[in-house]
Chain A
Amino acid sequence: MSVPRFWRELDSRYNLVGSHCKITNTYHYPKRSFNPEAGRDSIGNMEDYQFKGNGKVINSTVVHQAQTGYEMFGPYCIAIIELEEGPRITSQVVDCDPEIVKPGMKVKSVFRKLGEDSESGILHYGTKFIPDEVLQTENDEDDDIADVEL
């Protein structure tokens, strides 16, 4: 991706800035300057809106054949996430075993590295998601095993 193209979208990627239509009271991500549902009435009635970053998983999959640049993550989870305000976005869910990500799981946004344009190229940063609920970790399971009387 060219440097200017990514730079133009910094606010959307860093801060989840999308848009809000004052006519239909609906939210959109990525940002729109026109809302097809409201038609011409939406012109001049679209405002920037920063999403809170809370949402839930609608569906997810575990990628075992990692895309170029994502080899170090493999296997990793890609999910469709519905933000509290309504829009759905596709993102990695990180900081957890990818297999535990299920529909309905609450998630929240975090700031992470998205990729890089080669070893000497520009770094891309933006938003990913992590589970927003207490998860039983592998460490907890180890503790449980230690407590079992044999």
Chain B
Amino acid sequence: MNGIVSYGAYVPCHKIETGEIASVWGADGSAWAKNLNVYSKSVPGPDEDVITISVEATRQAMKRAKLNGDDIGAIYTGSESHPYAVKPTSTIVAQAIGATPHLTAADYEFACKAGTAAIQTCLGMVGDKQVDNGIAIGVDTSQGAPGDALEYSASAGGGAFIIGSKKVIADINHTTSYTTDTPDFWRREGQKYPRHGGRFTGKPAFFKHVMSCGLKTMEMAGTEAKDYDYIVTHQPNGKFPIRAAKALGFTTEQFETGLLTPRIGNTYSGAIFLGLAAILDIAKPGDRILAVAYGSGAGSDGFDITVTKNIEKMDRSETVEDMISRMKIVNYATYAKYRGKLRMGGSN
């Protein structure tokens, strides 16, 4: 069966605590942390962006699978913070892993679920035997406007999944999507920061799509919540994914492994990749996983996944938890410097 041949992840080594951000704006840090269930978020260094994170995650995936660049026929990178408006991230990733020139590549944008749309594209190409292996990448280094609620959660990180049909470590049994025109979150062309519909991002947006897609995926698979060992959903904050998982009938034991937002913030397109990578880091053959991504605008992609025995042969060192444990705390001044929030002299 077609599925995940390998996976890689990347989380920057800096983080800022919610209380530090709140103190700058005279807000109650404890209340913000508790309300969002986000206690710290990752901060990319001044030389890190979607391209560098994509390359690092992809290189880890390639190394784990012992694949060469020639083995890759497609690369699709999903993000809402590509460094270029015009010029693909995916071609730079392809060059950096030695996959050029005989491959197809493109960048995707669908808010936080562009990466899972890339997984579906790769599944189609592998299923149609157009390529042996395709790489789907989900990475973001998104920003919230200073003082906005998003500033407490918008972080950086992501992952890369190699999709293929040989030596698959996790079968993708079923996938489906649920898509509507729901304007809950957007960023206009040329604008630095996104805007959102406040509470409108909840029930008619995140919950409607994640729940509907999750239920449809289980219906296609003929499964119930109790049939799964893990669930991971998009996680814009630490509360929404818990509420959605519980509403779908899942327990804490099933969702806690893939729930990273309380410690690293909302990595947008990277969130479902990192959550799934954290699960694959410890998964055993036969484990079943339900993954449901969400992207504003809006849509959800659902995946019913079964881990195979091939995962036992894979070198799974350098886990997502290892990366999180190495994160160093920075203060707001350093965060502002790293994230380009300072106007430098001479720049006018």
Interface residues of A (CB under 8 A from B): 10-11, 14-15, 71-73, 92, 94-95, 110-114, 119, 123, 125, 128, 137-139
Say whether A15 contacts B45, CB under 8 Å: no
Q: Which residues of A contact B344 (CB under 8 A)?
A: 71
Q: Which residues of A contact B46 (CB under 8 A)?
A: 72-73, 113
Q: How large is the interface on B (under 10, 10 to 19, 20 to 34, 35 or more residues)?
A: 20 to 34
Q: Which residues of B contact A119 (CB under 8 A)?
A: 347
How long is the Cα–Cα vector from A94 to B47 in the complex, in angstroms? 9
List 12 A–B pairs whose Cβ atoms lie within 8 Å, in order of A's numbering. A11-B95, A15-B98, A72-B337, A95-B13, A111-B96, A112-B45, A112-B48, A123-B83, A125-B52, A125-B55, A128-B47, A137-B328
How long is the Cα–Cα vector from A130 to B256 in the complex, in angstroms? 31
Q: Which residues of A contact B329 (CB under 8 A)?
A: 138-139
Is B184 engaged at the interface, CB distance under 8 Å to the other chain? no
Say whether A113 contacts B96, CB under 8 Å: no
Say whether B51 contacts A14, CB under 8 Å: no
How long is the Cα–Cα vector from A35 to B45 in the complex, in angstroms? 38
Is B338 engaged at the interface, CB distance under 8 Å to the other chain? yes
Q: Which residue of A lies closest to B98 (CB)?
A: A15
Q: Which residues of B contact A73 (CB under 8 A)?
A: 46-47
When the two chains form the complex, which single residue of A10, A92, A138 contacts B328, counting CB atoms closer than 8 Å? A138
Is B140 engaged at the interface, CB distance under 8 Å to the other chain? no
How long is the Cα–Cα vector from A123 to B46 in the complex, in angstroms? 13
Given contacts A15-B96, A113-B48, 12 further A-B contacts (CB under 8 A): A14-B95, A15-B98, A72-B46, A72-B338, A72-B340, A111-B55, A112-B45, A113-B49, A119-B347, A123-B83, A137-B328, A139-B327
Q: Which residues of B contact A111 (CB under 8 A)?
A: 52, 55-56, 59, 96
How long is the Cα–Cα vector from A138 to B51 in the complex, in angstroms? 28
Interface of B is mostly: loop
How long is the Cα–Cα vector from A110 to B318 in the complex, in angstroms? 14
Q: Please give me the 6 A-B residue pairs with the lowest Cβ-Cβ distance, nearest first.
A: A72-B46, A111-B55, A112-B47, A113-B47, A14-B96, A137-B328
Q: Which residue of A lies closest to B328 (CB)?
A: A137
Q: Which residue of B lies closest to A110 (CB)?
A: B56
How long is the Cα–Cα vector from A94 to B14 in the complex, in angstroms? 12
How long is the Cα–Cα vector from A11 to B249 in the complex, in angstroms? 50
Chain B proximity of A56: nearest CB distance (Å): 20
How long is the Cα–Cα vector from A110 to B56 in the complex, in angstroms? 7
With A110-B56, A123-B83 known as contacts, the answer to whether A94 contacts B45 (CB < 8 A) is: yes
Say whether B95 contacts A114, CB under 8 Å: no
Chain A proximity of B82: nearest CB distance (Å): 11
Say whether A95 contacts B55, CB under 8 Å: no
How long is the Cα–Cα vector from A99 to B72 in the complex, in angstroms? 41
Say whether A114 contacts B96, CB under 8 Å: no
Complex interface bits, B17-59 against A, C-beta within 8 A gives 1, otherwise 0: 0000000000000000000000000000111110110011001
How long is the Cα–Cα vector from A36 to B346 in the complex, in angstroms? 46
Q: Which residues of B contact A15 (CB under 8 A)?
A: 96, 98
Complex interface bits, B75-86 against A, C-beta within 8 A gives 1, otherwise 0: 000000001100
Say whether A125 contacts B92, CB under 8 Å: yes
Q: Which residues of A contact B337 (CB under 8 A)?
A: 72
Q: Which residues of B contact A113 (CB under 8 A)?
A: 46-49, 51-52
How long is the Cα–Cα vector from A112 to B47 in the complex, in angstroms? 6
Is B326 engaged at the interface, CB distance under 8 Å to the other chain? yes
Say whether A95 contacts B51, CB under 8 Å: no
Chain B proximity of A92: nearest CB distance (Å): 8
How long is the Cα–Cα vector from A137 to B329 in the complex, in angstroms? 9
Chain A proximity of B79: nearest CB distance (Å): 15
Q: Which residues of A contact B347 (CB under 8 A)?
A: 119
Q: Which residues of A contact B13 (CB under 8 A)?
A: 95
